[in-house]
Amino acid sequence: MRSNTQSLAEVIKELLKNYRLDEKVAQANLQQHWEHWMGATVNKYTHDIKLKDKKLFLRIDSSVIKNEFLYSKQTVIQNLNKELGADYISELILL
């Protein structure tokens, strides 16, 4: 009999990846934790958070906040990927 030493977390991650559900789980995490990660003010003006093909689409109603995101895109991407636990985001698109 073969011994299996993978943890349950590893098995679930592999399963999600095989069924291509990992990006959907990451999007759900983004939507659920957005206010905590980005703050109440940013959350107030951010709508339609969508993750598709490693691109994060954000609709931001405030020109000031949109401008701040434009200047700090890479930092935002790095911080969100860190919070998500993997490189799910490679590009940030502001609508």
Please give the DSSP secondary-structure letter assigned to residue 7.
Answer: -
pLDDT of residue 8: 83
Cα-Cα end-to-end distance for the chain:
55
- Give the Cα separation of 57 and 43 in Å (integer): 14
Report pTM. 0.81
- pLDDT tens across 67-93, in order? 999 999 999 999 999 999 889 999 999
State whether the Cα torsion 51-57-60-66 is positive or negative.
positive
CA-wise closest residue to 70 among 45, 40, 95, 90: 95
Work out the pLDDT band at 9, boundaries 50, 70, 90. Answer: confident
Rounded alpha-carbon distances, angstroms, from residue 14 to 6, 49, 55: 10, 25, 22
- Percent pLDDT > 70 in the chain is 96
CA-wise closest residue to 90 among 78, 60, 61, 36: 78
pLDDT of residue 5: 77
